[in-house]
Homo-oligomer: A and B are copies of this chain.
Amino acid sequence: MASAPRRTKFVLDEDRTPRTWYNVVADLLPKGIAPVPPIHPGTGQPIGPEDLAPLFPMALIMQEVSADREIEIPDPVRDAYMLYRPSPLQRAYRLERALDTPAHIYFKYEGVSPAGSHKPNTALAQAFYNKEAGVKRLATETGAGQWGSALAFAGAVFGLEVKVYMVRASYDQKPYRRILMETYGASVVASPSPDTNYGRKLLAETPDTPGSLGIAITEAVEDAAGRDDTKYSLGSVLNHVMLHQTVIGQESIEQMQMAGEEPDVIIACAGGGSNFAGLVFPWVGRMLRGEGSHRVIAAEPEAAPSLTRGVYTYDFGDTGHLTPIVKMHTLGSEFIPEPIHAGGLRYHGMAPLVSLLKENGLIDARSVHQRACFEAGVRFARTEGILPAPESTHAIKVAIDEALEAKERGESRVILFNLSGHGHFDLSSYEKYLRGGLEDYEYPAERVAESLASLPKVGG
């Protein structure tokens, strides 16, 4: 109600769109922290670039293993970024007032992209490199539908066919996401689907399964591996995906400088890890180079808390065990999370690079229940106007907790979080919350233990 005399938005001109992606590996190596190579699921040996060639174009494979600090963003990708980048950084004055907190709360808003989340940052890059390599068609999975719509959009921009395997729980909850993908020209099927061997097998065993990201990944990989004109595209987990998302954090560093503040704590939700990495890696890089000090928190769902409760070990990225074996925090590749409404966070594993930072104490993690997250989301909508995606409400919940703790302690505190996307396609979830029909799921310790019992055997 009272007026906000100070600056609300920190907007960069489009020529400030980053010209390079930032690779955190370059700043980890001097500290003796090195990523471990993925293992081939068939041979049990470390995989080389040629093993990945059936799935990805060589340019992306080279990025996957690069140790260069900066990788140039090709002009056509940067031009497409400028349809929506740089994204705004905003100070949440009205939320601060509602909380009556001395904390300053800033958020980076990725919902301004055409697909409504941070996902186009890598979708555009992946579509570009595939197009350059002569690929005609991309196959992918999507959880909440954010990644699928991003790749569908990128396919329209660069002229590629896109086939999306959409986790059934989201397919049923979010018809609008499906229609958005179709409007961009993609074809979409509920996963498990009758379109792959793996999907047909699962449908025969458990016809009413809600599906999972792990299952949908297997289907998309099987599709891509089986067709010459098709490659696979993944919206999270892999190093090159983390890399492309770092435009978020790079912009936010410049914008926090405009605001004249250094964040004490930096927060992002983490499912596969790409939104988290996107905001956080450039800030972690500064810390590694001795240029700042921040607490960094990954906000996870209590129903799939891989970083807070998972094991750091070698595991499959997918449920059907077609993908390389990577070292990461995992709940076991056979673990299928409950159908929480933050579909993008329903994943058993975590990006190897994010896991590596966690294992080395460079970042922290916290798990939260979905009802408390929706409560935070409604509070945010009623103060700041923007309706957040269910995934993003996990970051808001942790940001609010931090702001209230600062109030309790009578401390100043500068909080920065990533509002990874809007919730315009998640309103059926909001309705369920508003009607009291949403349930919380306790951490399924027994099911996780069962799933972890069948980890792949990797020598060493």
Residues on A lying within 8 angstroms of B by beta carbon are: 1-5, 7-9, 11, 13-14, 75-76, 79, 82-84, 90, 94, 112-116, 120, 131, 153, 156-159, 175-176, 179-180, 182-185, 378, 381-387, 422, 424-425, 427-428, 430-431, 434
- Which of B9, B114, B387, B428 makes the CB contact (< 8 A) with A385? B114
Whether the Cβ atoms of B424 and A116 lie closer than 8 Å is yes
Whether the Cβ atoms of A76 and B1 lie closer than 8 Å is yes
Taking CB atoms, residues of chain B closer than 8 Å to A179 are 427-428, 430-431, 434
Whether the Cβ atoms of A1 and B185 lie closer than 8 Å is no
Taking CB atoms, residues of chain B closer than 8 Å to A1 are 76, 131, 157-159
Taking CB atoms, residues of chain B closer than 8 Å to A384 are 83, 114
A68–B83 Cα gap in the complex (Å)? 38
Taking CB atoms, residues of chain B closer than 8 Å to A378 are 183
Contact A387:B114 (CB < 8 A) given known A378-B183, A381-B184, A434-B183: yes
Contact A4:B381 (CB < 8 A) given known A13-B11, A430-B179, A431-B182: no
A74 closest partner in B (C-beta): B3
Taking CB atoms, residues of chain B closer than 8 Å to A159 are 1
Q: Which 5 A-B pairs have the closest CB atoms?
A: A114-B385, A424-B424, A179-B427, A176-B427, A156-B382
- Which of B8, B14, B114, B115 makes the CB contact (< 8 A) with A9? B14
Distance between A134 CB and nearest chain B CB, rounded to angstroms:
14
Taking CB atoms, residues of chain B closer than 8 Å to A176 are 176, 424-425, 427-428
A11 closest partner in B (C-beta): B11
A206–B9 Cα gap in the complex (Å)? 50
Whether the Cβ atoms of A79 and B184 lie closer than 8 Å is no
Taking CB atoms, residues of chain B closer than 8 Å to A422 are 424
A75–B83 Cα gap in the complex (Å)? 31
Distance between A95 CB and nearest chain B CB, rounded to angstroms:
11
A13 closest partner in B (C-beta): B11
Whether the Cβ atoms of B183 and A82 lie closer than 8 Å is no
Distance between A176 CB and nearest chain B CB, rounded to angstroms:
4
A120 closest partner in B (C-beta): B385
A153 closest partner in B (C-beta): B385
A84–B9 Cα gap in the complex (Å)? 8
A155 closest partner in B (C-beta): B382
A223–B175 Cα gap in the complex (Å)? 35
Distance between A454 CB and nearest chain B CB, rounded to angstroms:
40
A163–B159 Cα gap in the complex (Å)? 46
Taking CB atoms, residues of chain B closer than 8 Å to A112 are 112
Distance between A7 CB and nearest chain B CB, rounded to angstroms:
7
A182–B75 Cα gap in the complex (Å)? 43
A425 closest partner in B (C-beta): B424
Whether the Cβ atoms of A183 and B76 lie closer than 8 Å is no
Distance between A126 CB and nearest chain B CB, rounded to angstroms:
15
Whether the Cβ atoms of A180 and B11 lie closer than 8 Å is no
Whether the Cβ atoms of A3 and B182 lie closer than 8 Å is no
- Which of B82, B153, B156 makes the CB contact (< 8 A) with A8? B82
Contact A3:B387 (CB < 8 A) given known A14-B8, A425-B424: no
Other contacts beyond A1-B159, A184-B382: 12, CB < 8 A:
A1-B131, A4-B82, A9-B14, A11-B13, A11-B14, A83-B385, A84-B385, A116-B424, A120-B385, A175-B431, A176-B428, A183-B427
A115 closest partner in B (C-beta): B385
A286–B251 Cα gap in the complex (Å)? 38
Taking CB atoms, residues of chain B closer than 8 Å to A381 are 114, 156, 183-184
Taking CB atoms, residues of chain B closer than 8 Å to A7 are 14
A154 closest partner in B (C-beta): B385
**A-B contact list, 22 entries, CB within 8 Å:** A1-B158, A2-B76, A3-B75, A3-B76, A4-B82, A5-B75, A5-B79, A8-B79, A8-B83, A11-B13, A84-B385, A156-B385, A175-B431, A176-B425, A179-B428, A179-B430, A180-B427, A183-B378, A185-B382, A422-B424, A424-B424, A424-B425
